[in-house]
Structure formats: C-alpha cells, structure tokens
Amino acid sequence: MNEETIEPYFIDDIFYGEKSSAMVEFSRLRVDVALHMIKSERERIGKSLKVLDVGCGDGTYSKMILNMGNEVYGIDIRPERVRSAKQKGIKAKVADLTKSLPFRDEFFDLVHAAEILEHIYDTEFFLHEVKRVLKKNGVLVVTVPNIACLPNRIRVILGLYPKYIAPARRHWGVGEHIRAFTKGMLTELLERNGFEVDRLKANLMSFMPTKRAKKPWSKILGKIFPNLGEVLICKARKK
C-alpha cells in the first residue's frame, strides 16, 4: 500500500472522509504492540489462552488473536458485527458494556479492550467486571488515546482544541470519546480497581503522527516516552 492509497474512514458508522495508508499504519502500530503483549502472556503460560475481545466488531482483530493459537470470545453491541465475527471463528455474542459481562467468574486468562475505555461513562464498573471474569493473575490488555500526547500539548499552548476528546457526538475523527486519559491517570485508574501495571507503551511519538507513522524513530520514541505518545497500550495484571 503506497502513501496515495486511501480507503473510507468510519468511526461508529459515521463517515469521516477517507483514510490514507499512513493512518492505516498509525492504527496498525497500536495493534502490533497489543498483539505482542498477548503473545508474551501466551509464552509465559505455555499454553493456549482463553481470551475475551471487548468490542470485537466484525472480528478482524479477534481473528489475529485466534491465529496465535488462542481460544477467542468476543462481545459487541451490534448484532451484524457479531454475526461477522462468528463467521471468522470467534465465539461472539451481543453484549452491553453498561451491564454485567455475560460470563461466569474467573473464566478468562486475558481480556483485550482496544479503544474502549474512552467511550464508557462508568469505567470503574467496567473494570470491576473485567476483574471478575479474569482468572487469578489474569491479564488485561487495554489501549486508549493519550490526551497528553506531544501534538496535543502544542495545540493547547496555541489555544487549539486537543485531539481525542469530543465536544459533541459527531465531532470529526473522535467517535464519541467521553473520557480522556494520560499515562498517569490510566495507571491510577487501573491500580485503584485491582490491577497492577506490568507494561505500558505508546504506538509512536511525533509532531505529525499520521504523517510519520512509518518512520522507525517515531516508534522508538513512543516506547521511550509513552507519556508523550499518541495511543497508550497497557498490560495490567489482576492483583
């Protein structure tokens, strides 16, 4: 895929124009870091993991976890997406995150929640439910946009509105983000709700992240300075 390649860009079925290959790469970096954390946990345990993918959508990313040799369950609010996930071999079901997760206690080795927390009003209820369905020493891999990323710090100094938090439902490119996170606040929220952070990284750090997503140095800086990175990727263990 070259830099001129574009594709439709949807968030929560709202059309936001077209997405360049650089934007695709930006998202892929987040996914790659999360998948590596899941792989490391599988290697630590030495057997297949029972994984819950929260907000599994059509099962595209869930399938990547499945292909690693894991047993993958998924939940999503939209029946049509759940049907698509099932066709990919995911044990998916319709579920509402404002209610209890439809699984018994201590059922999963790992829960994956990518770009979920920023959409939830009661984040503590959700984390309590994740902790409930995780086995002893189970792992949560969570990703969230970083409101304190380097470009946002510059935007605020210049009097511009920061990325990753929405003033209205259909604000461009945000998709109803109602919670904002920094590295410190994500860590505090997880620890306050029964998790211990094992690892925390960012996908990349750059003044122009979607333009520099393919630059090796942007990924290296994201690992060194996650507090300034674009998307935070965290592996936390149930206490």
State the sign of the Cα–Cα–Cα–Cα dihedral 191, 61, 69, 96. positive
Joined together, the tokens standing for residue 185 give 């606040």
Q: 79-92 burial, b for 16+ CB within 10 Å, e for fewer? A: eebbebbeebebbb
Closest CA to 211 of 26, 27, 13: 26
Q: Which helix or strand (DSSP H or E) is residue 75 part of?
A: strand 71-76
pLDDT at 61: 92
pLDDT at 9: 34
Kindly give the confidence (pLDDT) of every residue in the chain, 239 residues in length, as a single tens digit, with 9 standing for 90 and above.
333 333 333 333 333 344 445 556 667 788 899 999 999 999 999 999 999 999 999 999 999 999 999 999 999 999 999 999 999 999 999 999 999 999 999 999 999 999 999 999 999 999 999 999 999 999 999 999 999 999 999 999 999 988 888 777 665 555 678 899 999 999 999 999 999 999 999 988 876 655 555 566 777 888 888 999 999 999 999 99
Question: What strands, in cross-sheet order, belong to the sheet with 71-76?
Answer: 91-94, 71-76, 50-54, 108-114, 134-145, 231-238, 195-202
Question: Could you give all domains of the chain from N- to C-terminal order, each with its CATH number?
Answer: 21-238 (3.40.50.150)
Say what the pTM is. 0.85
Rounded-to-integer distance, Cα 86 and Cα 230, Å: 31
